[in-house]
Amino acid sequence: MEYTILLSILVLGVTAFISAVVLYLVSRKFAIPEEEKVSQIEEVLPQANCGGCGKAGCHDFAITCAHADAKTFSKLHCPVGGNEVMKKVAKILGFKPTVKEATVSVLRCNGTCQNAPAKIQYDGIFSCRVANKVSCGQTGCPTGCLRLGDCVKVCQFGALSIDKKTGIPVIDEDKCTSCGACVRTCPRQLFEIRNKSPKGNMVYVACRNTQKGAIARKNCKAACIACLKCNKINPDIKVENNLSYIPNTVSADDYGQELAQSCPTGAIIFTHCGDKKHD
């Protein structure tokens, strides 16, 4: 009995040792030398592997950076690390860092439980993508938030949460890295990455409904009815297909307050640095 046990330990031990030696030799022989720069860059990257930069993870981004020239490098940006990380990467490569404006993801829907009360009860799979196929959602708005939180599930940074009172997702601007995961996930394309103004303010139309005003308002009190009031304040604001859109070029610092106050339905939202309002 003892002999068998000892023998098996011996045999396995020897096999393991030989395999280890072989593996070591093979890995030395066929090792792919990694560029020093790549590993240096990779060290300063946030390692979120979110794909927000458009590359397949941080390692891929590091390789692209290492191979870039000054012109292509200026187009590369890590949204998670932001300007600070890009400064470090630029230092390693010896390029001039490009400074990008601060951005954050915003929800272009204000269809809260109060503004757009539920008309039906959905009891299918708890996923926006499925609900979007089955019907136009509890509220009756064919372009509004479905309130099932697919975006919350994909956010790696915990920046999104469903507000229990309003039913729609809320974005924590401090945590949001504008990686764009929510933008890609939302089946109704309700998220948009927007620039913050120098003072940290934002102004945007929180509605994507292209139905005529009267129909849209039936389902949601906060729908854009294309009344053109915002267009009169700043002619850069385009109103097409019964829907207004405020481009990033319209300064939130100068016009934000006025636009939000002028909107009769409350579809235009003006946020001061940090605090977000949905009522």
Partner 1 sequence: MTKLKTFPLGGIHPDKYKITTDSPIIDAGLPEIVYIPVKQHIGSPAKILVSKGDKVKVGTLLADADGIVSADVHSSVSGEVIKVESIEGEFGYLEDMITIKVEGDDFEPSIDRSTDINREIELSKEEIIAKIREAGIVGMGGAGYPTPVKTSIPENKKVDTLILNGIECEPFLTADDRLMVEKAEQIVIGAKIINKILGIQNAIIAIDENKPHAIETLSKITKTYVGVNVQVCATKYPQGGEKQLITAITGREVPSRKLPIDVGCIVQNVGTVFAVYEAVMKNKPLFERIVTLSGDACLHPANYRVRVGTPASFLIDKSGGITEKVSKVIFGGPMMGTAAFNINAPITKITSGILLLSEELSHKTEPQDCIRCGKCVEACPMGLQPYLIGRNVRNEKFSELAACHVLDCIECGCCAYTCPVHLPLLDYCKIAKSELKKK
Catalog residues that contact partner 1 under the rule CB under 8 A: 120, 123-125, 129-130, 133-137, 140, 142, 211
Q: How far is the CB of 123 from partner 1 (least distance, A)?
A: 5
Alpha carbon dihedral 46, 50, 55, 61, in 10-degree steps, equals 10
The count of residues in the chain is 279
Q: How far is the CB of 135 from partner 1 (least distance, A)?
A: 4
Alpha carbon dihedral 25, 41, 156, 78, in 10-degree steps, equals -150
Residues 6+ apart with CB under 8 A from 228: 239, 244
Which helix H or strand E contains 191, and what residues bound it?
A: strand 191-195
Residue closer to partner 1, measured from CB, 185 or 231 = 185
- What is the distance between the terminal CA atoms of the chain, rounded to a whole angstrom? 77
Residue closer to partner 1, measured from CB, 137 or 180 = 137
DSSP 204-258: EE-----S-HHHHHHH-TT------HHHHH-TTSEEETTEEE--TTS-HHHHHHH
Q: How far is the CB of 119 from partner 1 (least distance, A)?
A: 8
Residue closer to partner 1, measured from CB, 55 or 153 = 153
- Token pair listed for 166: 């309003």
Q: In angstroms, rounded to a whole number, what is the distance separating the alpha carbons of residues 175 and 182? A: 13
Residue closer to partner 1, measured from CB, 136 or 233 = 136
Q: How far is the CB of 209 from partner 1 (least distance, A)?
A: 11
Residue closer to partner 1, measured from CB, 93 or 186 = 186
Q: How far is the CB of 264 from partner 1 (least distance, A)?
A: 23
Residue closer to partner 1, measured from CB, 91 or 212 = 212
Q: In angstroms, rounded to a whole number, what is the distance separating the alpha carbons of residues 46 and 42? A: 8
Residue closer to partner 1, measured from CB, 49 or 234 = 49
Q: How far is the CB of 99 from partner 1 (least distance, A)?
A: 36
- Token pair listed for 39: 């590993």
Which helix H or strand E contains 171, and what residues bound it?
A: strand 169-171
Q: How far is the CB of 214 from partner 1 (least distance, A)?
A: 12
Q: In angstroms, rounded to a whole number, what is the distance separating the alpha carbons of residues 29 and 228? A: 70
